Structure 1
Amino acid sequence: MASQEIEALAGALARLPGLGPRSARRAVLWLVKRRETALVDLLNSLDTVRETLVECTVCGNVDTRNPCGICADPRRDASSICVVEDVADLWALDRARLFPGRYHVLGGRLSALDGVRPEDLSIGALLDRVDGEGVDGVRVDEVVLAMNATLEGQTTAHYIAERLEGRPVRVTQLAHGLPVGGELDYLDEGTLAQALRARKPL
């Protein structure tokens, strides 16, 4: 039997996505065997992130600076915004390096069952970005709705499209080459590339 402290660490790791109790115990054992190197590096990294982690006030991304690296990058196309449900989706799309514009994180999706209403998401902030003067005087002319291909995701996309009606902005969405019920964070780059290339007006 391991000590209570080691079991507590294994329990904390087991709560992470993709790690069950057995995988967490293996990770703890690996860290304990390398406590002078790997464990120290991990603790230092966690401490640094804990102290510096902030949410971008422009797009909702998580970074160690505000605005985040994507919003602060002058090479990004400020006239195009890709709307995603959460930060994991933003990271998945940006990892593929296929979208040259900027992002907007909603912080979830509409769900009557879970009690998530439009005011619970950052839809108002998105509308403000579309209506505003834009970055460096560049107005937004395209909003790409990159919701997950679930019932709630598509409901959210249609709601946002309705809110954007009447504004001088082109609204597109990812093509339905995405598997129904699939989530962006689990898709390969080829699938993401095809979905982005085949986006169409909504």
Structure 2
Amino acid sequence: MYEGPVQDLIDELGRLPGVGPKSAQRIAFWMLDQPAEDVQRFAQVVSEVKARARFCAVCFNVSQEETCRICRDARRDQTVICVVEESKDVVAIERTREFRGLYHVLGGAISPIDGKGPSDLHIRELLTRLADGTVTEIILATDPNTEGEATATYLSRLLKDMGLQISRLASGLPVGGDLEYADEVTLGRAFEGRRYVEGSARPAPRV
């Protein structure tokens, strides 16, 4: 245990995801070695992101305005929505340059062990977006792990009677992995090889 603010900093850093006690201690002492202006700039950025960042009122992606740049882009395909768990997944998919539709960020995945059910996700808002019939295809791009698969299964059952094309990212993504860590080629192949959910509408054949 260290004295005063040093220990307070270590404790706060240790609350960050993926940062254990040893890592928190290393970061804290790294900060102590940095010039005061660098640390002040870091603190200012953290403060500003909390004050200025918000979630898009339409898709719940991170945004600086009421709606995000993707939702504001009239060039995007308005008939396709890619459903993801977190905003970081939007960034990962955008890097592939394979997808030109819209997104819907759920804000997590169904995880009973964490006490997170369908009502804790932005599923109601997704249904609202589908109500006017503009969207004809839903791509379920939740993570290929237990929680992601459970979420995709729940959504496919919920949406299958709405006459939509429903597909799930498949080939190229390892089971148990996260979209955030997939490279562009792997994600691109997953989009190309997506499979359609049984019972959902099928795309018209290409001429």
Q: What is the distance in 1 between the residues matched to 2:96 and 2:25?
A: 32
Change (3 A) 1:198 1:88: same
Unaligned runs of 5+ in 1: 134-138
Cα distance in 2 between the residues matched to 1:63 and 1:10 = 30
Specify the alignment match of 2:110 in structure 1.
110
**TM-score normalised by structure 2 residue count:** 0.84
Distance 2:76 2:38 in 1: 36
Match of 2:158 in 1: 163
CA contact (8 A) 1:49 1:64 kept: no
In the aligned structure 2, how far is the partner of 1:173 from the partner of 1:146?
Answer: 6
Letter in 2 for 1:164: L
Give the CA RMSD over aligned residues. 2.1
Q: Does structure 2 conserve the Cα–Cα contact (< 8 Å) formed by 1:54 and 1:64?
A: yes
Conserved in 2, the CA contact under 8 Å of 1:171 and 1:201? Answer: yes
1:95-127 Cα offsets, whole Å, 9 max, x none, are 444321111111222234444332222212111
> Could you list the per-position Cα deviations for residues 25-73 of structure 1 after superposition, in whole angstroms to 9, with x for gaps in the alignment?
2322232222333212211211211211212121111222221222222
**Relative to structure 1, is the Cα distance of residues 43 and 71 closer, same or farther in structure 2, using a 3 angstrom cutoff?**
same
**1:93 touches 1:192 (CA, 8 Å); kept in 2?**
yes
Q: Distance in 2 between matches of 1:125 and 1:4?
A: 45
AA matched with 1:151: T
Letter in 1 for 2:145: T
Cross-structure match for 1:10 = 10
Moved beyond 6 Å, runs of 4+ = none
1:183 aligns with 2:171: no
- Does the CA-based 8 Å contact 1:144-1:173 persist in structure 2? yes
Q: Which one-letter code corresponds to 1:174 in the other structure?
A: L
Alpha-carbon distance in structure 2 between the residues aligned to 1:165 and 1:185: 27
Q: Note the residue ranges of structure 2 that are not aligned, 5 or more in a row.
A: 198-207
User: Which amino acid is 1:34 matched to?
Assistant: Q
1:119-138 counterparts in 2 under 5 A? Answer: 119-132=119-132
The residue type equivalent to 1:22 in the other structure is K
1:136 matched residue in structure 2: none
* Deviation at residue 176 of structure 1 after TM alignment: 3.6
C-alpha distance after superposition, 1:162-190 (max 9, x if no partner): 22223232111101431111121222222
- Which residue of structure 2 aligns with residue 85 of structure 1? 85
Question: Are 1:34 and 2:29 counterparts?
Answer: no
Q: Cα 1:112–1:26, aligned 2, differ >3 Å: closer, same or farther?
A: closer
User: CA shift at 1:2, angstroms?
Assistant: 4.5
